[in-house]
Amino acid sequence: MTKGTQPLINFFKGHPTNSLLPAKEIANSYKKVLLEYDYTKYDNDPLNRHALTYGADAGNLDTRKVISKWNDKYFGRNDTDPDCINLTGGASYGFANILASVTDTKNITQRGFIVSPTYYLITPSFIDAGFGDKLTAVVETPGEEYEIDLKYLEEQLEFYDKGLPLVGDKEINIIADPSGRPDRKLYRYVIYIVPTYSNPGGLVYSTKTRKKLLELARKHDMLIVSDDVYELLNYTDSDKPIPRFSYLDRDSLPEGNKFGNTISNATVSKLLAPGLRFGWQETPTPKLVQQLAITGANLSGGTPGQLASIVVQDLITSGQADIIIAGLIKVYKSRAQTMLKSIKKYLPACTNVYGGEGGYFLWVTINADIDHTKIVDILKEEYNIILASGSNFEVCGDEKGWGKNSVRLSVSFLNELEIEDGIRRWGEVLRREHIEIFRN
């Protein structure tokens, strides 16, 4: 069978199979929001607006209250202030908004740190914000004391701190805004992470790791931006999620600090549907949310995704969001289990696998002296199978050579039969090209 007659099996795509998209549920919520909601109570309310008009800067307060209670339910809390939530147009927009609000690479912000391997589309946002020559990779370290190389990060922070004032316990770099907006907090450093079911590494960072990273952030005036997009997709029997950075920050905020050092950047793209283009940012303090909510674009147009935000509010209050997520967990868990079994069955014993307990991705490393990029090319050219080579997940300018031995696999797009067939053929090509790695 030639490539042209074989169906495409694409392990790269990080979005749901079309059949999993909840079209009817979302359509019903749009109908309710547009035709059945009573918005007259909002006529003179500066904190809530009609679904089809400009939104309040941080988003409707009623929507933020619903999201606060929803998050608290999942994380076993009851103290989230809705004023610590800023509504966004999704995690990607949210991250760009964060960099625009809290960094100044010409005068104050010294460096951007990115955990590596990293989400393959995050680097352009850093470059757009002026970090083109100011990016450093911090490698994930599964199986060690911390899930990321915090010793190296601390060394780098101390290096770039040379000649700069010590931070101490007080917040620094709070500047007057020339346009008349409230004073802004700018950070000396920023680090981007995906700490739960990480993309692409599949890891969950322990509470110990999170607390140590938060300690470094406070000591060096660093902002931790965590993409918290996969946590609810938990395929284990545990119902005790690890606290988000924003919760740890809030619970231990030093006296007198008004901004904190963390932002949780969330979205419904992985939980409901990416086309909704809706997410939120959660901070340890209202002060940081106020700053994020009045960036230039937000101040001009109001919260992005005003209509979508109220649709998501309806999906949550009606219980449909929880039902949709439970359905996704059932499907993705089955696919992840098939992927793990197939890897064990068809790939060599020198294969290491990270992930499979939640989220979208598994990170697979063939621990052998081979160039796996050639295997990826053969699978694409001869078998119409696309693997996401590790080379896609580098930090621009600080590459670590992930393509030589590693790939990322997605459980969200392919069904069980496609997953096993693709991994079986992957094993066949490995055996054909490198029979030696199957002999141990």
Task: Write the DSSP string, 299-368.
Answer: HHH-STTHHHHHHHHHHHHTTHHHHHHHHHHHHHHHHHHHHHHHHHHHS-TTEEEEE-SBSSEEEEEE-S
Both structure tokens of 3:
């490539």
Q: Are residues 177 and 292 in the same domain?
A: yes
State the Cα–Cα distance between residues 107 and 65, nearest whole angstrom.
37
Q: Are residues 278 and 333 in the same domain?
A: no
Does residue 27 fall inside a structural domain? Answer: no
Q: Of 276, 297, 320, which residue constitutes the final position of a domain?
A: 320
Number of separate domains in the chain: 2
Does residue 28 fall inside a structural domain? Answer: no
Q: Are residues 184 and 50 in the same domain?
A: yes
* CATH number of the structural domain spanning residue 434: 3.90.1150.10
For residue 258, count other CB atoms closer than 10 A to its CB.
14
pTM, two decimals, is 0.96
* CATH number of the structural domain spanning residue 235: 3.40.640.10
Q: Are residues 358 and 406 in the same domain?
A: yes
Q: Are residues 13 and 41 in the same domain?
A: no
Q: Are residues 308 and 337 in the same domain?
A: no
Pairing, β 111-116 against β 135-139: parallel
Radius of gyration over every alpha carbon of the chain, rounded to an integer in angstroms: 23
Q: Of 272, 303, 320, which residue constitutes the final position of a domain?
A: 320
Does residue 26 fall inside a structural domain? Answer: no
Show the domain range for 343. Answer: 9-21+322-438
Does residue 3 fall inside a structural domain? Answer: no
Q: Are residues 77 and 110 in the same domain?
A: yes
Does residue 296 fall inside a structural domain? Answer: yes
Does residue 409 fall inside a structural domain? Answer: yes
Q: Are residues 264 and 381 in the same domain?
A: no
Q: Are residues 328 and 293 in the same domain?
A: no
Q: Are residues 181 and 316 in the same domain?
A: yes
Q: Are residues 392 and 415 in the same domain?
A: yes
Q: Of 320, 349, 365, which residue constitutes the final position of a domain?
A: 320
Does residue 376 fall inside a structural domain? Answer: yes
Does residue 2 fall inside a structural domain? Answer: no
Q: Are residues 316 and 330 in the same domain?
A: no
Q: pLDDT tens per residue, the chain (440 residues)?
A: 555 578 999 999 999 999 999 999 999 999 999 999 999 999 999 999 999 999 999 999 999 999 999 999 999 999 899 999 999 999 999 999 999 999 999 999 999 999 999 999 999 999 999 999 999 999 999 999 999 999 999 999 999 999 999 898 789 999 999 999 999 999 999 999 999 999 999 999 999 999 999 999 999 999 999 999 999 999 998 878 899 999 999 999 999 999 999 999 999 999 999 999 999 999 999 999 999 999 998 888 889 999 999 999 999 999 999 999 999 999 999 999 999 999 999 999 999 999 999 999 999 999 999 999 999 999 999 999 999 999 999 999 999 999 999 999 999 999 999 999 999 999 999 999 999 999 86
